[in-house]
């Protein structure tokens, strides 16, 4: 049994982010939003404020810690929505085939033709900034990968003996899809979802950085970076820590995804599409 470094390191990074997010109110030393005090503005990192303070005197450490909640929630929930949409469409399209398959394939090709961040940005423009809009915008725009994967896997499994047996036993289509096919294709889908969650966190950061996602004063890592850009000359620490938090969390998810791939999807090569 070889030592799976990326699985453990990735797992540890990601677990740290989750723990920080869960325990945020306990480990934050200041209020992330309302503890503004202009007397403390732009203090460099030190004992009292380990990550420094921003232009309004708020503690960056506490804001980064609370930001974990928003960034992780958006990343994980959006990816769940993507997975549910993608897997449902892919399973049914692969299993039923026919006109439904044509419809789903057409939709998938359309989604692949539009860069997903551009699509998400268009949806945010219409819905306006906010947490719910973000979940909708990111949850509806990157399901094509899991859809294509689920469809391809179902196509290769559908003529297997145990599926035929289930049909002869009179199982309903839905029962076959969700109790016979889904468990057999779950491994690669989990890998895609893990990597996709990292992508959603990056997309949230990008949209919030543009001012279209989570809006100030609430701390998401992206919105903190948006404030920080203005003060890059006087207070560079404002930019460093939220970006590092994004990096560690997404790196954790990517390593975890790679590690899971070795275990759950051993025959796959790098899936690039």
- Segment contacting another protein by CB under 8 A, of 15-23, 151-159, 199-207, 259-267: 199-207
Instruction: Compute the distance between CA of residue 262 and CA of residue 269 in angstroms, rounded to an integer.
Output: 10
What's the distance, Cα to Cα, between the start and end of the chain in Å? Answer: 30
- Segment contacting another protein by CB under 8 A, of 15-23, 79-87, 112-120, 159-167: 112-120
Neighbours of 41 (CB within 10 A): 16
Angle ∠(110,115,121) on CA atoms, nearest 5:
110
Q: Restricting to residues 120-139, which ones interact with another protein according to CB under 8 A?
A: 121-128
What is each CA distance from 124 to 72, 93, 105, 210, 211, in whole angstroms? 19, 29, 25, 11, 10
Instruction: Compute the distance between CA of residue 159 and CA of residue 266 in angstroms, rounded to an integer.
Output: 22
DSSP at 179: I
Does 80 interact with another protein (rule: CB under 8 A)? Answer: no
DSSP at 22: H
Q: If 0-12 CB within 10 Å is exposed, 13-18 middle and 19+ buried, where does residue 43 land?
A: middle
Which residue among 205, 214, 256, 260 contacts another protein (CB under 8 A)? 205
C-beta of 65 vs 111, nearer to another protein: 111
DSSP at 205: H
C-beta of 90 vs 198, nearer to another protein: 198
Q: How far is the CB of 112 from another protein (least distance, A)?
A: 8
C-beta of 159 vs 272, nearer to another protein: 272
Strand partners of residue 79: none
Residue count, binding to another protein (CB under 8 A): 50
Which residue among 154, 191, 246, 256 contacts another protein (CB under 8 A)? 246
Q: Restricting to residues 207-226, which ones interact with another protein according to CB under 8 A?
A: 209-212, 222, 225
Which residue among 110, 165, 174, 263 contacts another protein (CB under 8 A)? 110
Which residue ranges make up the site for another protein (CB under 8 A)?
A: 6, 106, 109-110, 112-118, 121-128, 198, 202, 205-206, 209-212, 222, 225, 228-229, 232-233, 236, 239-240, 242-243, 246-247, 250-251, 253-255, 258, 269-270, 272-273
């Amino acid at each position: 049994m070889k030592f799976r470094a990326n699985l453990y390191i990735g797992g540890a990074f990601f677990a740290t982010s989750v723990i920080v997010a869960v325990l945020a109110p306990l480990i934050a030393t200041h209020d992330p939003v309302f503890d503004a005090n202009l007397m403390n503005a732009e203090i460099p990192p030190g004992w009292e404020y380990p990550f420094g303070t921003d232009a309004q005197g708020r503690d960056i450490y506490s804001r980064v810690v609370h930001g974990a909640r928003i960034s992780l929630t958006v990343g994980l929930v959006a990816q769940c929505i993507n997975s549910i949409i993608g897997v449902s469409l892919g399973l049914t399209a692969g299993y039923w085939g026919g006109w439904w398959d044509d419809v789903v394939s057409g939709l998938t090709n359309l989604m692949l033709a539009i860069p997903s961040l551009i699509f998400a940005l268009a949806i945010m423009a219409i819905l306006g900034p906010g947490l719910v809009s973000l979940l909708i915008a990111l949850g509806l725009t990157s399901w094509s990968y899991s859809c294509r994967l689920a469809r391809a896997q179902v196509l290769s499994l559908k003529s297997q003996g145990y599926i035929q047996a289930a049909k002869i036993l009179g199982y309903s289509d839905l029962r076959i899809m969700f109790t016979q096919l889904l468990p057999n294709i779950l491994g690669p889908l989990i890998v895609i979802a893990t990597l996709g969650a990292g992508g959603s966190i990056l997309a949230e950061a990008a949209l919030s950085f543009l001012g279209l996602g989570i809006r100030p004063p609430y701390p998401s890592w992206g919105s903190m970076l948006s404030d920080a850009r203005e003060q890059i000359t006087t207070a560079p620490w404002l930019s460093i820590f939220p970006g590092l938090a994004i990096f560690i969390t997404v790196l954790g998810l990517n390593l975890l995804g790679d590690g899971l791939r070795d275990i759950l999807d051993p025959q796959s090569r790098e899936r690039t599409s």
